[in-house]
Chain A
Amino acid sequence: MNGAAGSQPVPRSERAQDTDALRRRRLAWRLAALLLLGLAAGLATGAGGFSPTRFWADLHGEQAWLLFGEIRAPRTFGAALVGALLGLSGAIAQGLFRNPLADPYLLGSAAGAALAVVLVLAAAALAGATLSLATALWLERIGLVVAAFCGALAGVAMTLALARGAVQTLRLLLAGVVVGVLLGAVSDLITVAWPDALRGKQAFMLGSTGFLGHSSLLLLGGGLALLTWAARRHARALDALTLGEDSAASLGLDLARVRLALVLMLSLGTALAVSQAGLVAFVGLVSPHLVRRHAPGAHGWLLGASAAMGAALLLGADVISRAVIAPQELPVGVVTAVLGGLYLFVLLQRRGQP
Chain B
Amino acid sequence: MKRPLSRRAWLAGPLLLAASMAVPAAAGGVALRDDRGTEHRFAAPPRRIVTLLPSLTEAIWVLGGGSRLVGVDRYSNWPAELAGLPRVGSMDDAHVEAIVALAPDVVLASASARSLDRLEALGLRVVRLKSETHADVRRSLQRLALLLGTPAEGERVWARLEREMDDAALRVPAALRGARIYFEIGGGPYAAGAQSFIGETMARLGLANIVSRELGPFPKLNPEYVVRAQPDILMGVRAELQGMGARPGWGLLAAVRNDRRCGFETLQYDVLLRPGPRLGEAAALLADCLVRLGKA
Q: Which residues of A have CB within 8 Å of B224?
A: 46-47, 67, 71-72, 327
Q: Which residues of B have CB within 8 Å of A322?
A: 222
Q: Which residues of B have CB within 8 Å of A47?
A: 221-222, 224-225, 228
Question: Are B239 and A66 interface neighbours, CB within 8 A?
Answer: no
Q: Which residues of A have CB within 8 Å of B149?
A: none
Separation of A60 and B153 alpha carbons in the complex (Å):
59
Question: Are A212 and B248 interface neighbours, CB within 8 A?
Answer: yes
Residue on B nearest A212 in the bound complex, by CB: B248
Residue on B nearest A331 in the bound complex, by CB: B220
Q: Which residues of chain A (126-157) have a CB below 8 Å from chain B? A: 128-137
Q: Which residues of chain B (221-253) have a CB below 8 Å from chain A? A: 221-225, 227-228, 237, 239-240, 242-244, 246-249, 252
Choose one: A133, A200, A212, A328; the contact of B215 (CB below 8 Å): A328
Q: What is the 8 Å Cβ interface bit string for chain B, positions 79-97, against chain A (1 contact, 0 not)?
A: 0000000000000010000
Q: Which residues of A have CB within 8 Å of B237?
A: 130, 199
Question: Are A70 and B228 interface neighbours, CB within 8 A?
Answer: no
Q: Which residues of chain B (37-82) have a CB below 8 Å from chain A? A: 75
* Given A66-B252, A67-B249, A199-B186: A211 touches B223 (CB 8 Å cut-off): yes
Question: Are B228 and A63 interface neighbours, CB within 8 A?
Answer: yes
Residue on B nearest A141 in the bound complex, by CB: B246
The answer to the question of B188 belonging to the interface, with a C-beta cut-off of 8 Å to chain A, is yes
The answer to the question of A284 belonging to the interface, with a C-beta cut-off of 8 Å to chain B, is no
Separation of A338 and B117 alpha carbons in the complex (Å):
31
* Given A131-B239, A135-B243, A203-B188: A326 touches B222 (CB 8 Å cut-off): yes
> How many A-B contacts if CB must be within 8 Å?
106
Q: Which residues of B have CB within 8 Å of A136?
A: 243, 246
Q: Which residues of B have CB within 8 Å of A63?
A: 227-228
Q: What is the 8 Å Cβ interface bit string for chain A, positions 296-337, against chain B (1 contact, 0 not)?
A: 000000000000000000000000001000111101000000
* Given A131-B243, A211-B247: A67 touches B186 (CB 8 Å cut-off): no
Separation of A256 and B246 alpha carbons in the complex (Å):
43
* Given A131-B243, A135-B247: A328 touches B219 (CB 8 Å cut-off): yes
Separation of A46 and B266 alpha carbons in the complex (Å):
32
Residue on B nearest A322 in the bound complex, by CB: B222
Residue on A nearest B252 in the bound complex, by CB: A66
Q: Which residues of B have CB within 8 Å of A135?
A: 187, 239-240, 242-244, 246-247
The answer to the question of B189 belonging to the interface, with a C-beta cut-off of 8 Å to chain A, is yes
Choose one: B221, B240, B247; the contact of A327 (CB below 8 Å): B221
Question: Are B187 and A199 interface neighbours, CB within 8 A?
Answer: yes
Q: Which residues of B have CB within 8 Å of A195?
A: 75
Q: Which residues of chain B (190-236) have a CB below 8 Å from chain A? A: 215-216, 219-225, 227-228
* Given A128-B239, A135-B239: A200 touches B248 (CB 8 Å cut-off): no
Q: How large is the interface on A (under 10, 10 to 19, 20 to 34, 35 or more residues)?
A: 35 or more
Q: Which residues of A have CB within 8 Å of B228?
A: 46-47, 63, 67
Q: Which residues of B have CB within 8 Å of A38?
A: none
The answer to the question of A213 belonging to the interface, with a C-beta cut-off of 8 Å to chain B, is yes
The answer to the question of A51 belonging to the interface, with a C-beta cut-off of 8 Å to chain B, is no
Chain B: minimal CB distance from A49 (Å): 9
Question: Are B243 and A211 interface neighbours, CB within 8 A?
Answer: no
Separation of A210 and B186 alpha carbons in the complex (Å):
14
* Given A67-B224, A200-B187: A134 touches B240 (CB 8 Å cut-off): yes
* Given A71-B248, A134-B243, A210-B223: A327 touches B266 (CB 8 Å cut-off): no
Question: Are B188 and A70 interface neighbours, CB within 8 A?
Answer: no
Q: Which residues of A have CB within 8 Å of B215?
A: 327-328
Chain B: minimal CB distance from A300 (Å): 35
Question: Are B189 and A134 interface neighbours, CB within 8 A?
Answer: yes
Q: What is the 8 Å Cβ interface bit string for chain B, positions 127-150, against chain A (1 contact, 0 not)?
A: 000000000000000000000000
Question: Are B221 and A137 interface neighbours, CB within 8 A?
Answer: no
Question: Are B246 and A71 interface neighbours, CB within 8 A?
Answer: no
Separation of A331 and B219 alpha carbons in the complex (Å):
12
The answer to the question of A202 belonging to the interface, with a C-beta cut-off of 8 Å to chain B, is yes
Q: Which residues of A have CB within 8 Å of B227?
A: 63, 66-67, 71
The answer to the question of A74 belonging to the interface, with a C-beta cut-off of 8 Å to chain B, is yes
Question: Are A137 and B246 interface neighbours, CB within 8 A?
Answer: yes
Q: Which residues of A have CB within 8 Å of B244?
A: 134-135
Which residue, B75, B216, B220, has most C-beta atoms of chain A within 10 A?
A: B220
The answer to the question of A289 belonging to the interface, with a C-beta cut-off of 8 Å to chain B, is no
Chain B: minimal CB distance from A142 (Å): 14
Q: Which residues of chain A (201-239) have a CB below 8 Å from chain B? A: 202-203, 208, 210-214
Chain B: minimal CB distance from A211 (Å): 6
Question: Are A137 and B225 interface neighbours, CB within 8 A?
Answer: no
Residue on A nearest B239 in the bound complex, by CB: A130
Q: Which residues of B have CB within 8 Å of A192?
A: 93
Q: Which residues of B have CB within 8 Å of A131?
A: 239, 243
Question: Are A129 and B239 interface neighbours, CB within 8 A?
Answer: yes
The answer to the question of A196 belonging to the interface, with a C-beta cut-off of 8 Å to chain B, is yes
Residue on A nearest B186 in the bound complex, by CB: A199
The answer to the question of A23 belonging to the interface, with a C-beta cut-off of 8 Å to chain B, is no
Give A residues with C-beta under 8 Å from B.
46-47, 63, 66-67, 70-72, 74-75, 128-137, 192, 195-196, 199-200, 202-203, 208, 210-214, 322, 326-329, 331
Give B residues with C-beta under 8 Å from A.
75, 93, 186-189, 215-216, 219-225, 227-228, 237, 239-240, 242-244, 246-249, 252, 266
Excluding A210-B189, A214-B248, 4 further A-B contacts by CB distance (< 8 Å) are: A135-B246, A195-B75, A327-B219, A329-B221
